[in-house]
Chains A and B, each alone.
Chain A
Amino acid sequence: MAEPKISMKDVDHVARLSRLTLTDAEKERMRRELDGILTYIDKLRALDTEGVPPTSHAVPMKNVMRDDEPRPSFAQDDMLANAPDGSGEFFRVPRIIEESAGEARDR
């Protein structure tokens, strides 16, 4: 079972995973607040959940599927209208460095 106390290293790691840039002040504050919340959440450990199945949907449903029937796609203009940096018919993004590509290559 994981120890809920969260370190600055944890904060850095999770911020990276979440793609969030935090100032040092934000990081410290975050560490404290998360620590408090995680301590509170720790009370869940006290509960015996042996043999209790997880509930992902309170209202059980299954086998919801649709037919393989085409629906009209949206116009290119509509799809690109909100682009922060559109480039003709494409969305444009800045330089993709190695670390980004690493995770994607592994798929």
Chain B
Amino acid sequence: MLTRLTVHELGARFRSGEATPTEAARAYLDRMGALDPKVKAYLTPTADHALAQAAEADARFRSRAPRGLLDGVPVGLKDVFCTRGVETTCGSQILRGFRPPYDATVVARLRAAGAVILGKLNMDEFAMGSSTENSAFFTTRNPWDLSRVPGGSSGGSAAAVAADLAAATLGTDTGGSIRQPAAFCGTVGLKPTYGRVSRYGLIAFASSLDQVGPFGKDVADTALVLQAIAGHDPLDATSAAIPVPDYTAGLSAGVKDLKVGIPDEYFIDGLDPEVEAAVRAAIATLERLGAKTERVSLPHTEYGLAAYYVIAPAEASSNLARYDGVKYGLRVPGARDLIDMYSRTRGAGFGAEVKRRVMLGTYALSAGYYDAYYGKAQRVRTLVLRDFQRAFERVDVIVAPTTPSVAFKLGEREDPLQMYLNDVFTIPVNLAGLPGLSMPAGFTQSGLPIGLQIIGKAFDEATILRAARAYEAATPWRERKPELAV
């Protein structure tokens, strides 16, 4: 079945002629038709575009001139990426009907690689959330248990890969929005170093924290997608001019003598015992494979959440100021005057979580509060960063749980603060700008995926991927798939 294959396996079939991109695209589109009414990963499927792109890829394979390993591969994109001519909502009513006249850089790079775009994937509105319940349109379901959330904000991207509704997807991670849904949905998800991948065309949530990253069925696929999108972009002044290494080379080099740090502060009272057990077992596996583990301390971990919930909303309140009904998106009719138009449009167009964060952010930046909140949080950020820098003087990677719990039920976490606690292990990594990956590390008794997080030094995604591959090869987790009746 074409939809079960990884990107690598699919590419091999294309090259050998056993399958064509059009067949693969159709297979995915059919599966989407059958299953997505249950999973609800897609906001906007783009079947016609996909088939047209697949046909072009067919021709390239026929003339034995494919563009590369992603050519003809069906992928999905979180609806946070601007896609030219295709509705891009960012999960919000305020951008209903918005058709950008340009592609995000990462979208352009995937297109240039020949990838076939199946559609835009559901997400928490403006990437604010940890369950995709904040989407203005509907909630995506966790393919492992349709009564549970897939995580967020890239819930659609994670669910699509888990349910074989795309061969790979792109998401974004500001406080954990790739890693946490990857953990909840049992896929691989990578947040690169800040600046590794261009943010141009990524609808901004928190400018100093947002990063684009891939979801893959396995580590090798994830590395491949990262390769296609990474690298400096002159349109993004925060993108790094550091050369992109070959992420696929050395992937299987193993973890012999790799120094692995185990952070004390990530094994806390609130951690689900099954999650803890799985992560500890994973650490033991790594040791068996030759890694050298040692305890490290990241003492400011608990302050990371608080600092994040000042910085991210502050930047968000600024980035979302442009949604005002003037040039694009929703405008509520019948306003008395300009201010009324602004306020009613934003009041109607933004959901509750977005409004909450905009208010919080505006408050934190307002006159008299800047030093106490934003200024303070940026200093705490330095302390969090220094914790990691100190740890990385002794170890090469840090291994920890991705989340304190597994996927919870829809509607279970209503209190915002409760929801924010989901991100306690992922947020510090964003504050420090470091790369982090989540991958399957087992299942709970009730069959829910558990995620293992691997954190690396800045621009050292290669080591993370190598460690992940070694662990993956030594474990059976990726063979298990959710039982979704077609």
Contact = CB atoms under 8 A, between A and B. Distances in A.
A and B touch in the complex (CB under 8 A): yes
A55 interface: yes
B338 A33 contact: no
B337 A95 contact: yes
B263 interface: no
A19 B177 CA distance: 27
Contacts of B234: 66
A69 B420 CA distance: 45
B99 interface: yes
B329 A82 contact: yes
Contact of B346 (A18, A41, A54, A79): A18
Contact of A58 (B303, B327, B355, B431): B431
B65 interface: no
B193 interface: yes
A33 to B, nearest CB: 6
A2 B310 CA distance: 14
Contacts of B341: 93-94
Nearest to A53: B382
Given A19-B342, A95-B337, A100-B338, A43 B303 contact: yes
Contact of A14 (B347, B366, B378): B366
A96 B339 CA distance: 8
A24 B355 CA distance: 14
A100 B341 CA distance: 12
A10 interface: yes
A2 B416 CA distance: 23
B434 interface: yes
B56 to A, nearest CB: 24
B381 A54 contact: yes
A102 B417 CA distance: 37
Given A44-B377, A49-B379, A94-B337, A58 B331 contact: no
Nearest to B209: A58
Interface string B361-383: 01100101100110111111111
Given A18-B362, A52-B382, A95 B338 contact: yes
Contacts of B342: 19
B48 to A, nearest CB: 20
Contacts, number: 176
A45 B300 CA distance: 13
Contacts of A84: 325-331
B143 to A, nearest CB: 31
Contacts of A66: 234
B362 A58 contact: no
B297 interface: no
Contact of B240 (A6, A18, A47, A59): A59
Interface string A17-56: 1111110001000100110111011011101010011111
A1 B373 CA distance: 9
B306 interface: yes
A56 B381 CA distance: 8
Given A44-B303, A95-B337, A82 B377 contact: no
A30 B359 contact: yes
Nearest to B235: A66
A20 B330 contact: no
B360 A57 contact: no
A68 B435 CA distance: 34
A40 B433 contact: no
A49 B376 contact: yes
Given A53-B382, A55-B381, A83-B328, A17 B366 contact: yes
A19 B339 contact: yes
B354 to A, nearest CB: 10
A52 B385 CA distance: 12
14 contacts: A15-B359, A18-B359, A20-B347, A20-B359, A44-B303, A49-B376, A57-B433, A59-B194, A74-B102, A82-B97, A84-B325, A84-B328, A93-B338, A94-B337
Interface of B: 97-99, 101-102, 193-195, 208, 234, 237-238, 240, 300, 302-303, 306-307, 309-310, 317, 321, 324-331, 335-344, 346-348, 350, 352, 355-356, 358-360, 362-363, 366, 368-369, 372-373, 375-383, 385, 416-417, 431-434, 458
Q: Which 9 A-B pairs have the closest CB atoms?
A: A58-B433, A54-B378, A21-B347, A84-B331, A82-B328, A49-B379, A21-B343, A78-B101, A19-B342
Given A34-B359, A38-B360, A53-B379, 10 more contacts: A15-B359, A58-B194, A59-B195, A66-B234, A81-B99, A82-B98, A83-B327, A83-B328, A97-B338, A99-B339
